[in-house]
Structure 1
Amino acid sequence: MNKDLLFYSKKFAKLRVDRVRGIAPHKPILILSAIALIQQEVITQNRIFLSPELIATFLKYWSHLGSESHRSDIAQPFFHLQGDGFWHLKAKVEFEPVINSKVKIKTLSGLRDAVQYAYFDDELFELIQDPSSRSSLIDVLANTWFSDKTSQIAQLFQINSFQEFQDRLREQGGIVYSADEIEDESKLIVRDAAFRKIVVSAYEFRCAFCELQILNSLNQHIVDGAHIKPFSQFRDDRFDNGLSLCKNHHWAFDRGWFTVDDDYKIIVSEDLREESPHARTMRDFHGQHIALPAQQSYFPRIDALRWHRENVFNHGEQLFLT
């Protein structure tokens, strides 16, 4: 069978969707989301990860195209689109038997644990990369599933949904969320990724403790956007509750092996036995200032640092700092 534009146009027009409570538009919205990221060159290989970018795009499109009779749930189409024959899942090694047995995975966290990425048929991915055939496939999805919203789809394709979320968050200086606002797992993933990206970019992708900076041609880096007061307790995603730390020093900070005083000087626990033949020990940084962002609004908040000193450093023992 010739898997050409006509073949996939028919596939897109006849997606297997739930119709019990009206048409469930999860599958066409997921496909549109993936095509949008390919068009924006966020996705450059035939590997579609359950990334914050994909989830943010799906949520944005759902808010305009979704059904009031159904819940926004990217996990459902990401798994079940396999049944339409052109979408496939690459399992993580230990989960290959589970994916191959077609056992249903219903949660987003379950999918992220079990699946490396999804991918289209190679022929379909090539068609989507071509502007003309991509436009034709978008038209099929729009006219078949969202015939009254075709103009909205054209506008949505001009928006980088994850960047839009980051920009909105940046304008607010971050957010302290209510408990209700973090119940949705997909929104939590987008929120967490946006916070961390903004924080590390404010520090120019450099560790505030040791000033290590490593970047590659894909803009990958070695630092994390760490919370000073834990998000699980305080739901505080204001950027002044963040620090850019390399993997080692993020781990050490979370376990109270070092902290930071009100003058932004490093305090290292005396309860450490260190050997570091080829690099500086943590103790070598005691008394030095952390690297700070260029913008003062991103400086670590003093009350957050005090909380960390009193509740995390040295296992929460009250310090008498001089």
Structure 2
Amino acid sequence: MQKDLNYYINRFTNLNVNTVGGKAPYQPLLLLSVIELIEQRLIQENKIYLSLELISTFAKFRSQLSTPYYQADLAQPFFFLSRAKNPFWYLQPKPGFENVLESGVKLNRLSLLRKNIDYAELDDELFDLLKSPINRAALIVAIASKCFSEKIEQVQSLFQIHSFQDIRYSLRESGATYSTNEMSEKEVKEFEDIVRDATFRRNVVSLYGQRCAFCKLRIISRDSGDIVDGAHIKPFSRFKDDSYTNGLALCKNHHWAFDHGWFSIDDDYRIIIPADRFIEEPPEESKRMQEFNREQIHLPDQSDFHPRSEALAWHRDHWHIA
């Protein structure tokens, strides 16, 4: 059979998708991540390493497109994609570990993969196809239509958000340095937590144009820093929901105020400020917080990323704001 674009469209749309606890399409998410890194020219040869860029890009797609019920790490699809019928994804063992793949051992943990596997590679025909923007777009649409039929526009929008570039600032802030060849399982988890936190913050802030949804303040430093946070509407610690529709871009003051129920937002995206929550004494020339009551918040240009009504309703109910 000729391995042309139609062949790989068929293969991509017949991948294994775990449905335990809700749809968990980790193999399609991995392929979307690889396509993005090829598009960014971060993968330029047919060798796909367990790099920080791949981990962070996979985390971005996973947080937005899969169920929060169970969030597998990159090791699961990286290994099991090589076990597919009529595979196009192959694992290349490190020197001296050639017998590991033949032994039948499941290398479905990052520590095992890093110890035994050097990199993965695609069919040469597929890698050549992915060099073309037209072919990449066709394969992205095929994956989105099959696995994320209700989120096709969101899948395409996520390709405009470059996760690893966005988390470098947070990695510098934390003082953390990581190399996938040396990371322990604990360090992998720590890195994924930093990726999750930083990706959510930077991407939500980016979607809002670095502007506070409440007061519309936008200040950017010369080194691209800003004073706006990515705020969860429903707290991540309780709901494990890092979808951007569970987020708002808020400056430090209004992030704190939102998290403490000093204001909420209605389904028409208008600010609700209870009259009895605080006393304010602003300078004469400053706008009082109460004056923002009933104003519409600043929103992302793309409606797919507007705050979910269900999340806003939870916040109003939790803080008893009518």
Partner Cα distance (2:114, 2:108) in 1: 11
Partner Cα distance (1:55, 1:186) in 2: 11
* Equivalent position of 2:164 in the other structure: 162
* Equivalent position of 2:53 in the other structure: 53
* Equivalent position of 2:76 in the other structure: 76
Residues 1:35 and 1:183: Cα distance change in structure 2 (over 3 Å): same
Aligned to 1:93, what secondary structure does the other structure show? Answer: coil
Amino acid paired to 1:66: S
8 Å contact kept, 1:59–1:72: no
Q: Deviations along 1:264-311, whole A, 9 cap, x unmatched?
A: xxxxxxxxxxxxxxxxxxxxxxxxxxxxxxxxxxxxxxxxxxxxxxxx
8 Å contact kept, 1:108–1:186: no
User: How much does 1:156 deviate?
Assistant: 1.5
Residues 1:150 and 1:168: Cα distance change in structure 2 (over 3 Å): farther
User: How much does 1:184 deviate?
Assistant: 7.0
Q: Deviations along 1:179-205, whole A, 9 cap, x unmatched?
A: xxx95725527959xxxxxxxxxxxxx
Residues 1:187 and 1:33: Cα distance change in structure 2 (over 3 Å): farther
1:14-33 equivalences under 5 Å are: 14-33=14-33
8 Å contact kept, 2:23–2:66: no
Partner Cα distance (2:189, 2:114) in 1: 11
Runs of 4+ more than 4 Å apart: 189-192
Amino acid paired to 2:108: K
Amino acid paired to 1:80: F
* Equivalent position of 1:62 in the other structure: 62
TM-score, L = length of structure 2: 0.54
Number of residue-to-residue matches in the alignment: 185
* Equivalent position of 1:97 in the other structure: 99
* Equivalent position of 2:248 in the other structure: none
Aligned to 1:31, what secondary structure does the other structure show? Answer: helix
1:268-307 equivalences under 5 Å are: none
8 Å contact kept, 2:62–2:71: no
8 Å contact kept, 2:16–2:25: no
Amino acid paired to 2:124: D
* Equivalent position of 1:2 in the other structure: 2
* Equivalent position of 2:188 in the other structure: 185
* Equivalent position of 1:109 in the other structure: 111
- Give unpaired runs (5+ residues) of structure 2: 177-184, 196-322
User: How much does 1:70 deviate?
Assistant: 2.0
* Equivalent position of 2:132 in the other structure: 130
Partner Cα distance (2:186, 2:95) in 1: 30
Provide the alpha-carbon RMSD of the alignment: 2.2
Amino acid paired to 1:83: R
1:233-272 equivalences under 5 Å are: none
* Equivalent position of 1:139 in the other structure: 141
Partner Cα distance (1:2, 1:24) in 2: 30
Residues 1:190 and 1:20: Cα distance change in structure 2 (over 3 Å): closer
Q: Deviations along 1:226-281, whole A, 9 cap, x unmatched?
A: xxxxxxxxxxxxxxxxxxxxxxxxxxxxxxxxxxxxxxxxxxxxxxxxxxxxxxxx
Aligned to 1:94, what secondary structure does the other structure show? Answer: coil
Amino acid paired to 2:77: P
Partner Cα distance (2:37, 2:108) in 1: 24
Partner Cα distance (2:116, 2:152) in 1: 35
